[in-house]
Amino acid sequence: MRVGMPHMGNLYIPFKALFQRLKVDFVIPPVSNQRTLSLGARYSPEGLCIPFKMTLGNLIEAAEMGANTLLMPGGDGICRLGYYTKVQEQILHELGYNVEIIQLGVSEHKFAGLLGIIKRVSNNAPWPRIISAFRFGLAKLNSLDTIERLVQKVRPVELVKGTANQLYAQAVRAIDKAEDYNLLKKVKKDYVSQLNRVTRNSQARPLVVGITGELFVLLEPFSSFDVERELGKMGVEVRRSTFLSEWTKFSLFLNPLGINEKDRIHKAALPYLKRDIGGDGWESVGEKVLHAGEYDGLVHLAPFTCMPEIIAQNIMPSTREKIPVLTILCDEQIAKPGILTRLEAFVDLLQRKRRAEENNNQRVAI
Amino acid sequence: MIKVGIPRALLYYQYYPAWKAFFEALGAEVCVSPPTTQNMLVSGSSRVVADTCLPVKVFIGHVISLVGKCDYTFIPAIRSLKSKTYNCSKFLGLPDMTRAVVPESPHILEIEIDINRGKRQLYQSIYKLGRHFTWNPLQVRQAATAAWQAYLDYQEMMSRQGLTPPQAIERISGTPDTMPESHSSPATPPRATIGLIGHPYLLYDEHINYQLVRRLEQADNRVLTPEMLATPQLEATIARLVGRSYWTYEEEVVGAGGYYLQNKADGIIGVMAFGCGPDSLMMDMVHRQANRQKTTPFMCLTLEEHTSEAGVITRLEAFIDMIYRKKRRQVEVCV
């Protein structure tokens, strides 16, 4: 059995660690690129969202590399995602790949279900080994997210542009290579201190822009032309509330205990949207309400034709809490110059707004 | 008397008789918006973001047309009607979204229906809805029973007499509807049997589908719609094609489509709205099945506000001509 799975940002690193420890034959398809998207778009039904097309592209590339068991996230009551595997399996079969897709139904099976699937693909490895391998994967995920958070802070204020990105790329590689906890710890410490030592522009007061929206386009930089990095280049500090490590921690361990990190966000959204509408629509509205006073602006990322985000997008302008929102719809037709132009215009608008507010304050002071 | 406005869009076609019975048993008067017009579509489209789907734009147009004509607007949020199924986000967020984009709308009566959360929750939400009219729980209970009975009668009327929802609603309420009597005169045998699949709000809104059903019937074809099939048949088909159903309204597309593919409709037309989340996958499911079987022609008509009448007619004519030709050839081969 050769296992493959689609990409979502750096998710492949913890899974690689997990499967290496369990000695599972695991292939990693090429990091999402233009070919992935073209393949996905060619074989997908036309009206589908970019997460479907990208993951289909990944799955096809994994199948080309000989994978016959594909792990694909899914589950009940999310959005179209729950139906993905049914169609993707048919498409792969029609293309002549003899593969089986296993749905990782995190929302319904929780932790036990996930472990069960790991046990199955690892050819019935003993439980202690599975648990320890899983912990190691989680440790890698946590380190990756710690570094990423720091990079988001450094990027806008570094003196030499691009330093943080370079360090980030090195860190990701090093974390991927780390073979045990000691090494991982060392790598993490090393890069954290390196990032902290990057010379910063002490006068910079970066604009703070929140990023919210649909999980996949948030976490897969290729699908949104890496909006975060581009904003960083423009000297904007990006805040994102969705991190995979957080998400795993809560949805696997704490949600079953009744602790929900999103309660605060949902409560904020309540006056405008009373119920979960699937996907991340509720959270998008909530984040706007919650961060209205805190951030300078909000970038709302959504796949084209995403049902929950369309509802969120319709509701957002009517909230009493005001904050500029830029919605970017991602699909295979978007082009980098288009995104850049819109981001630049948005940042200009935020800067002008900040200047106007400061002038007003000065006048009041006088 | 309190007037409850019901937009003639989306779930109206499935549940209007039940809603009417419920509100009338509570002593309210029901006021339905007129059939869709171009103005409604335009006013609805102008309120929402561009990539909202056509039926929701139409719905918003209907809500706007009800402003000032009623005291309440009734907008349900239906999540599931069977255990472990799920509905499109647009249905779940409909009341909140309408409130956001049509702020001048009268107070919105909403009810969340989610079977997954158990019967208790369902009864509670029905009582909560009834509270707007009466404090007497018994009266709400009676109204709910009346609504259920009306719904069953409506369903039976459609499946037994082969009526489409607008025709059945017309019989029930006695109000003239736009749908003509069906051409089921036994004098001339139909030239072809066309199975239509899609959601009722697309199949029976004559404005947005350019009178699809009427056009097919006027050309002496027999038209089958998903309501004419019994639920067990549809469920069995879904089980065969995709396993457990995932969407609340999966029967109307995968169920009916799979059924027609097996039961010799001469052709199948799938009607979907551009950007429809569930249909983008479900229509594809039927399409692939049709491709594999290679016996029944399948065409998917995607509707949006830029769809033109001429485009729809051309495709329809080409499709029907192809079916006639196919039938003629079969006859010749037999002879």
Q: Hey, of B113, B284, B287, B294, which one would you mutate to test binding to chain A, going by the most A CBs within 10 A of its CB?
A: B284
pLDDT for position A242: 83
CA-CA distance, A213 to A259, in Å (whole number)?
22
Residue of A84, A275, A315 with shortest CB distance to B92: A275
Q: Hey, of A89, A275, A280, A283, which one would you mutate to test binding to chain B, going by the most B CBs within 10 A of its CB?
A: A275
Q: Which residues in chain A are contacts of B281 at CB distance < 8 A?
A: 45, 48, 80, 83-84, 86-87
Reply yes or no on whether the pLDDT at A288 is more than 70. Answer: yes
CB contact under 8 A, B281 and A274: no
Which CATH number fits the domain B3-158, given the four candidates 3.40.50.11890, 3.40.50.2300, 3.30.1330.60, 3.40.50.300?
3.40.50.11890
Chain B within 8 Å of A43 (Cβ-Cβ)? no
Kindly tell me the burial class for residue A313, based on how many C-beta atoms sit within 10 Å of its own C-beta (0-12, 13-18, 19 or more): buried
Q: Which residues in chain A are contacts of B274 at CB distance < 8 A?
A: 47
Among all chains, which residue has been given the structure tokens 């001339």? B188
CB contact under 8 A, B100 and A314: yes
A77 band by pLDDT with thresholds 50, 70 and 90: low
CA-CA distance, B132 to B116, in Å (whole number)?
25
Contact A54, A61 (CB under 8 A): no
Phi, psi (5° rounding) for residue B207?
-70, -45
Contact B101, A314 (CB under 8 A): yes
CB contact under 8 A, A315 and B97: yes
CB contact under 8 A, B86 and A77: yes
Mean pLDDT, chain A, whole residue set: 89
Side-chain half-sphere CA neighbours of B244 within 13 A: 10
The hierarchical CATH code for the domain B189-334 is 3.40.50
Q: Hey, of B56, B59, B97, which one would you mutate to test binding to chain A, going by the most A CBs within 10 A of its CB?
A: B97
ipTM entry: 0.89
CB contact under 8 A, B101 and A318: yes
Phi, psi (5° rounding) for residue B183?
-85, 45
pLDDT for position B316: 93
Q: Which residues in chain A are contacts of B277 at CB distance < 8 A?
A: 49, 79-80, 305-307
pLDDT for position A119: 87
CA-CA distance, A341 to B260, in Å (whole number)?
50
pLDDT for position A262: 79
Both tokens of A197, joined, read 């030592």
pLDDT for position B97: 93
Q: Do B3-158 and B189-334 agree at the fold level?
A: yes
Both tokens of B226, joined, read 């998903």
Contact A22, A131 (CB under 8 A): no
Chain A within 8 Å of B89 (Cβ-Cβ)? yes
Q: Which residues in chain A are contacts of B99 at CB distance < 8 A?
A: 318
Helix (H, G, I), strand (E, B), or coil: what is residue A240? Answer: strand
* pLDDT (tens place) for every residue of chain B, 335 residues total: 899 999 999 999 999 999 999 999 999 999 999 999 999 999 999 999 988 999 999 999 999 999 999 999 999 999 888 888 888 889 999 999 999 999 999 999 999 998 888 888 899 999 999 988 988 899 999 999 999 999 999 988 888 887 888 888 888 877 655 545 554 555 578 889 999 999 999 999 999 999 999 999 998 999 988 888 888 888 888 888 888 888 888 888 999 999 999 887 899 999 999 989 899 999 999 999 999 988 899 999 999 888 889 999 999 999 999 999 998 888 888 77
Q: Which residues in chain B are contacts of A327 at CB distance < 8 A?
A: 49
CA-CA distance, A363 to B195, in Å (whole number)?
71
Identify the CA nearest to A51 among candidates A28, A76, A70, A32: A32
- For residue B88, give how far its alpha carbon lies from the nearest alpha carbon of chain A (Å): 7
pLDDT for position B115: 87
Q: For residues B83 and A182, which has the higher predicted lDDT (pLDDT)?
A: A182
Q: Which residues in chain B are contacts of A300 at CB distance < 8 A?
A: none
Strand blocks (E) in chain B: 3-6, 29-32, 72-74, 77-80, 107-109, 112-114, 192-197, 221-224, 267-273, 298-303
Neighbours of A19 (CB within 10 A): 23
**Closest chain B residue to A310 measured between Cα atoms?**
B52
Contact B217, B183 (CB under 8 A): yes
CB contact under 8 A, A318 and B279: no
Q: Tell me how far CA of residue A94 lies from CA of A98, B254, B292, in angstroms.
A: 9, 19, 10
pLDDT for position A224: 87
Residue by residue, DSSP assigns A166-211 as: HHHHHHHHHHHH--SHHHHHHHHHHHHHHHHHS-B-TT---EEEEE
Chain B within 8 Å of A57 (Cβ-Cβ)? no
Q: Which residues in chain B are contacts of A281 at CB distance < 8 A?
A: 89, 93
pLDDT (tens digit per residue) in A183-230:
999 999 999 999 999 998 888 889 999 999 998 999 999 988 889 999
Both tokens of B123, joined, read 């009864």
Chain A within 8 Å of B71 (Cβ-Cβ)? no
CB contact under 8 A, A45 and B52: no
Chain A within 8 Å of B113 (Cβ-Cβ)? no
Reply yes or no on whether the pLDDT at A70 is more than 70. Answer: yes
CB contact under 8 A, A315 and B89: no
Phi, psi (5° rounding) for residue B293?
-75, -35
Percentage of chain A surpassing pLDDT 70? Answer: 98
Residue by residue, DSSP assigns B17-34 as: HHHHHHHHHTT-EEEEPP
- For residue A286, give how far its alpha carbon lies from the nearest alpha carbon of chain B (Å): 13
pLDDT for position B186: 53
Q: Tell me how far CA of residue B19 lies from CA of A135, B86, B95, B182, B251, in angstroms.
A: 53, 22, 16, 26, 22
Chain B within 8 Å of A278 (Cβ-Cβ)? yes
CB contact under 8 A, A90 and B288: yes
CA-CA distance, A107 to B83, in Å (whole number)?
16
Chain A within 8 Å of B288 (Cβ-Cβ)? yes
Locate the domains of chain B by residue range: 3-158, 189-334
Neighbours of B182 (CB within 10 A): 16
Amino acid sitting at position B72: Y
pLDDT for position B176: 56
Side-chain half-sphere CA neighbours of A88 within 13 A: 34
Residue B268 parent element (H or E): strand B267-273
Residue of A45, A76, A77 with shortest CB distance to B281: A45
Q: Tell me how far CA of residue B316 lies from CA of A13, A199, A200, A263, B221, in angstroms.
A: 51, 67, 65, 50, 12
pLDDT (tens digit per residue) in A91-126:
999 999 999 998 887 666 677 788 888 888 888 888
A299 band by pLDDT with thresholds 50, 70 and 90: very high
Reply yes or no on whether the pLDDT at A269 is more than 50. Answer: yes
CB contact under 8 A, B281 and A77: no
- For residue B24, give how far its alpha carbon lies from the nearest alpha carbon of chain A (Å): 27
Side-chain half-sphere CA neighbours of A148 within 13 A: 23
CA-CA distance, A167 to A206, in Å (whole number)?
20
